[in-house]
Structure 1
Amino acid sequence: MPDDPSPTASDRRRPWLRLWPLALLLAAIGLAYALGLHRVLSFEALAEHRATLAGFVAARPVPALLLYVLTYVVVVGFSLPGATVMTLAGGFLFGPWLGAAAAVAGATIGACLLFLAARHALADSLARRAGPRLGKLREALARDGFWYLLSLRLLPVLPFWFVNLAPALAGMPLAPYAAATFLGIIPASLVFAGIGAGLGQVFESGGRPDLTVIFSPGILLPLLGLAALSLLGAWWRRRQRAA
């Protein structure tokens, strides 16, 4: 007698078990907002506590740096608002170069953790429902996803959380995702950490930093050029395969 192909109760429950990382993530986000942690990650909070933070960094530079990176991982991993303020704080507390490096490390790790949680919870389910269309998109992302994601990372026009989640749900492999994230966020991180390094004078004057500087021609045009080169890389790879 052939085996019964109908799913058992355990099989029907198993897809729900895959949602635990996403459920944990949503619960943590809700708790963070309920506790008002999003208000801590603001320019006003940085200005208010700047002396305490600077004193802690001066007294314990290595633990402070590690704690900064860990905090950045949490901010990005839980999609909390405040990544830009975190990068400014990195430049203010550790200088433009070390601050940018720490921000890139924290953002990359946090983005990868969010990517893995979303892929574990939803990617397979979406693939079964979307059918062949998503299958073709997965193949394209496996081949050229690095270049497409790199162009999106270089131009910080889309929400960071969206660019973190979309490739995971579309089935992009982790390795090119991590590499494109790491390389793509370096330019903007250097810009914002550089702004953060000069926050001392801004705090003294009671003003706010001009973050629109990233859209100035001197910065935006090179980023556009790098994004265009990354798209050119994807086009060249397709042309080589078609030849």
Structure 2
Amino acid sequence: MLRIFGLLLVFLTSTLLLFAVWSFGPLPEGAKRPRFPRDLDGLRDLSSSLGKYEESHALYTLLLFSTAYLYKQTFAIPGSFFMNLLSGALFGTLRGVALVCTLNAIGASFCFCLSALFAAPIVERYLKTRIENLRVMVNAERDRLWLFLLSARVFPFTPHWLLNISSPFLDVPLRYHASSVFVGLFPYNFLCVRAGTVLAEVRSMSDVFDVWTLSELLTVSLILLLATKYSKKSHQMERKVSDHNVLHGKKCLEVQDKLREDCVHATREISCSNQVAKAIEKYCKDESYSVACPNRPTTTTEATTMTSTDGNKMIPFIIGGVVGVIVFIAIGIAIFCNCKKMKSAGEGAIADWTNE
């Protein structure tokens, strides 16, 4: 009950803070207070009014936008699409993308902390089944957790609000949570912000997320997921070999102790290192068991195997990173060309209308 009360208190305090920023800011005479848009037409009107207002009150516009965005992210309120479009219309592509990615990561971190402190009763009552399903998936990818979270963020149909709320109960570190949001949502944010710079030509979400764009996002997510699976399989094989080496090493040491006891008992000598070394060498015939024969020096074959194993660990990360960068560049070029065509078409329509 105390946690519910604390959550309500934080919500009311944040709402009052947002209301204060919205109400007591400088307002030109005769102008109306901005309202959160419900559709694209309302977003265009808001963008037009704030665009003129931003020229004379840039800091207040930035403060109002940032406060509203963090409020939305902290309490998992839908509306990222509209806010990202508005960011592009107000701040341009570069500043808009940097601002939105930063606010996304900060807001998701606020949601993470708020959920960890107060949301346990709500999660236990309403999201128990979903949390259990997510826990199974996260535990299965625990060794490559950040890469798994990154692929989930890039995937265009992921319920990000659910990940933000449930991450504290899945033992996801906050640094993994925040960094995966910042990097993984970059393609989505870039597409929305870039489209916001030509907001007048955007009629629906399909103008921003067409079949080609969605397929590119799905491809990147699939590549990252496959890299996670490959890394996990490689790690499991290494762990299996390591466990086998340790087991074999213990057995070798037992044989070594037994041979030394027999040697001392038979020869009455305190040191039987030569005899034991020869006997243990016969037992340790497989050169791959470096742990099993600690007295035997590491061979060139073992060193090569160890080096290649370390290199194999980086293969999925290198492949995923290179392909991801290539696809991101392709997305940027495609969106830039489409937006340029849309802008040219809009300017042509305006020119025709002026001539008429």
Which residue number in structure 2 is paired with residue 89 of structure 1?
86
Query: How far 1:29 moved relative to its partner?
Result: 9.4
Alignment identity in percent? 24
Query: Would the alpha carbon gap of residues 180 and 189 (structure 1) be closer, same or farther in structure 2, given more than 3 Å must change?
Result: same
Which amino acid counterpart does residue 195 of structure 2 have in structure 1? I
State the AA in 2 paired with 1:241. Answer: H
Change over 3 Å in CA distance of 1:134–1:82 after alignment to 2: closer
1:9-24 equivalent positions in 2, closer than 5 A:
16-24=1-9
CA distance in 2, matches of 1:134, 1:163: 9
Please name the residue that 1:4 is paired with.
Answer: none
State the match for 1:191 in structure 2.
191
* TM-superposed deviation, 1:57: 1.6
The residue number in structure 1 matching 2:220 is 226
Question: Which residue in the other structure is 1:205 paired with?
Answer: none
Distance of 1:133 and 1:79 partners within structure 2: 20
1:167: how far off? 2.2
Match of 1:51 in 2: 48
Give, as a single letter, the amino acid of the residue that structure 2 aligns with 1:238.
K
CA contact (8 A) 2:105 2:182 kept: yes
- C-alpha displacement at 1:69, in angstroms? 2.3
1:40 match: secondary structure: coil
SS at match of 2:143: helix
| 1:216 counterpart = 2:210 | yes
**Do the aligned partners of 1:152 and 1:163 also contact (CA within 8 Å) in 2?**
no
CA distance in 2, matches of 1:224, 1:134: 20
**CA 1:221–1:120 in 2, change beyond 3 Å: closer, same or farther?**
same
**Structure 1 position 78 matched with structure 2 position 72:** no
**Kept in 2: contact 1:91–1:196 (CA 8 A):** yes
Report the CA distance between 1:21 and its aligned residue: 4.8
Q: What's the C-alpha RMSD, in Å, of the aligned pairs?
A: 3.4
- Tell me the amino acid that sits aligned with residue 66 of structure 2: V
Q: State whether structure 2 residue 160 is matched by structure 1 residue 160.
A: yes
Structure 2 CA distance for aligned equivalents of residues 51 and 108 of structure 1: 27
One-letter amino acid of the counterpart of residue 114, structure 2:
A
Alpha-carbon spacing, 1:194–1:168, altered in 2? closer, same or farther (3 Å): same
The correspondence of residues 71-150 of structure 1 with structure 2, limited to 5 A, is 71-122=68-119, 139-140=139-140, 142-150=142-150
Q: Distance in 2 between matches of 1:49 and 1:215?
A: 22
* C-alpha distance in 2 between matches for 1:21 and 1:223: 38
Alignment-derived partner of residue 24 in structure 2: none
Q: 2:83 and 2:95 mapped to 1: Cα distance? A: 13
Letter of the 1:40 counterpart: F
Question: Aligned pair in 2 of structure 1 residues 233, 94: CA closer, same or farther (>3 Å)?
Answer: same
Tell me the TM-score normalised to structure 1 length. 0.72
Partner of residue 40 from structure 1, selected from 36, 39, 42: 36
TM-score by length of 2: 0.51
Alignment deviations for residues 182-224 of structure 1 (CA, whole Å, 9 cap, x no partner) = 111110111111111001x34xxxxx53312454243122211
Q: Stretches of 4+ moved more than 3 A in 1?
A: 16-32, 122-126, 132-143
Gap change, CA 1:89 and 1:97, over 3 Å in 2: same
In structure 2, the gaps of 5 or more residues are 19-34, 239-356
Paired residue total: 213
Distance of 1:28 and 1:99 partners within structure 2? 27
- Structure 1: gaps of 5 or more residues: 1-15, 33-38, 203-207
Q: Is contact 1:108-1:182 (8 Å) kept?
A: yes
CA deviations on 1:100-133 (whole Å, 9 max, x unpaired) are 221111122111101111122345996xx99x99
Report if aligned partners of 1:145, 1:177 keep a CA contact under 8 Å in 2: no
Helix, strand or coil for the counterpart of 1:172?
A: coil
2:156–2:218 contact (8 Å) kept in structure 1: no
Q: 1:185 to 1:133 in 2, by over 3 A?
A: closer
Shift of 1:160: 3.1
Q: 1:136 to 1:151 in 2, by over 3 A?
A: closer
Q: AA paired with 1:209?
A: R
* Conserved? CA contact 1:104–1:182, under 8 Å: yes
